[in-house]
Amino acid sequence: MKRILVTGAAGYIGSVVVKQLLNKGYFVRGIDILNFGGEALLSVYNHPNFEFIKGDLRNEDDVVKSLKEVDGVIHLAAIVGDPACAKEPQVAEDTNWKASKLLFDNAQLIPSVKRFVFASTCSNYGKMPGDNLLNEDSDLNPVSLYAKLKVKFEKYVLESETRKDFVPTTLRFATAYGLSPRVRFDLTVNEFSKEVALERELVIFGEQFWRPYCHVEDLASACILAMESEPKKVNHRVFNVGDSNENYQKKMIADEILKFVPSAKIKYVHKDEDPRDYKVDFSRIKNELGFKISRTVPQGLQEIYSIVKNGIIKNPDSKQYINI
User: 193: which residues sit within 8 A by CB, 6+ positions away?
Assistant: 257, 300, 301, 302, 303, 304, 305, 308
| Helix or strand run (H / E) with residue 52 | strand 50-54
Which residue, among 127, 142, 129, 150, has the nearest Cα to 274 in the 3D structure? 127
Helix (H, G, I), strand (E, B) or coil at 158: helix
Whether residue 293 contacts residue 218, with contact meaning beta carbons closer than 8 Å, is answered with: yes
Whether residue 188 contacts residue 177, with contact meaning beta carbons closer than 8 Å, is answered with: yes
Q: Is the pLDDT of residue 134 over 70?
A: yes
Q: Determine what percent of the chain is predicted with pLDDT higher than 90.
A: 93
Q: How confident is the model at residue 311 (pLDDT cuts 50, 70, 90)?
A: very high
d(CA 103, CA 60): 8
Helix (H, G, I), strand (E, B) or coil at 190: helix
Q: Is the pLDDT of residue 156 over 70?
A: yes
pTM: 0.97
Q: What is the dihedral of CA 20, 304, 318, 41, to 10 degrees?
A: -10
Q: Is the pLDDT of residue 273 over 80?
A: no
Q: How confident is the model at residue 323 (pLDDT cuts 50, 70, 90)?
A: confident
Domains by residue range for the chain, with CATH: 3-176+213-241 (3.40.50.720), 178-212+244-279+294-321 (3.90.25.10)
Q: Look at residue 132 in the predicted model and tell me its pLDDT.
A: 86
Mean pLDDT value of segment 91-98: 95
